[in-house]
Amino acid sequence: MTVDYADLARRIEALCHGETDTVALMATVVCELHHGHPLSDWTGFYRVTGPQMLKIGPYQGGHGCLVIPFSRGVCGAAARSGQVQIVPDVDAFPDHIACSSTTRSELVLPVWNARGDLLGVLDLDSNTPAAFDETDAAGLTAILASVFAGAA
């Protein structure tokens, strides 16, 4: 099943219009995305909270890892490289951090504000292998760019 990213973008834009608080924006995006993507079992943000450090932000699903350094895992790779990470099989990803033993695939996208500051990463985990693809990455990249353009 594919996600209607145009519809998801419209819903998120309507909910976030005029908001600049990063945490409020993250919470709203996570809620809509978690309920809008049929294969996302865990959806959340990891926020940049210090040099080379991510800390869990708004999320939906089971517990996540509390702190992830840029040097570890899929989230760290996205933060470190500034590149989207599509991981069809987490067991094949070197240094994958297993926050949940049921996760089989993952999609992580860096989140930037209009100044080019890295705010954090958006992490989607699935219990289904190869749950995410380039369509997901492109749709979510566009949503994140729009939503966080005015974020502090």
Burial of 136: CB neighbours in 10 Å, binned 0-12, 13-18, 19+: buried
The structure's pTM equals 0.95
Q: Is 76 within the bounds of a domain?
A: yes
Q: Is 9 within the bounds of a domain?
A: no
> What's 21's DSSP letter?
-
Q: Is 61 within the bounds of a domain?
A: yes
CA distances 61 to 34, 115, 118, 130, 132, Å, are 8, 31, 24, 19, 17
Q: Is 27 within the bounds of a domain?
A: yes
* Strand segments (E) across 20-117: 42-50, 53-60, 67-69, 85-87, 105-112
Number of domains in the chain: 1
SS3 26: helix
pLDDT band at 1 (very low <50, low <70, confident <90, very high): low
Q: Is 121 within the bounds of a domain?
A: yes
Q: Is 7 within the bounds of a domain?
A: no
**Domain CATH number, residue 112:** 3.30.450.40
Read off the pLDDT of residues 11-59 as tens digits, 9 standing for 90 and up: 999 999 999 999 999 999 999 999 999 999 999 999 999 999 999 999 9
Q: How high is the pLDDT of residue 50?
A: 94
Q: Is 1 within the bounds of a domain?
A: no
Read off the pLDDT of residues 69-120 as tens digits, 9 standing for 90 and up: 999 999 999 999 999 999 999 989 888 877 778 899 999 999 999 999 999 9
Instruction: Please count the CA atoms within 13 angstroms of the CA of 144 that sit on its side-chain side.
Output: 25
Domain housing 126? 21-150
Look at residue 6 and tell me whether its pLDDT is greater than 80. Answer: yes
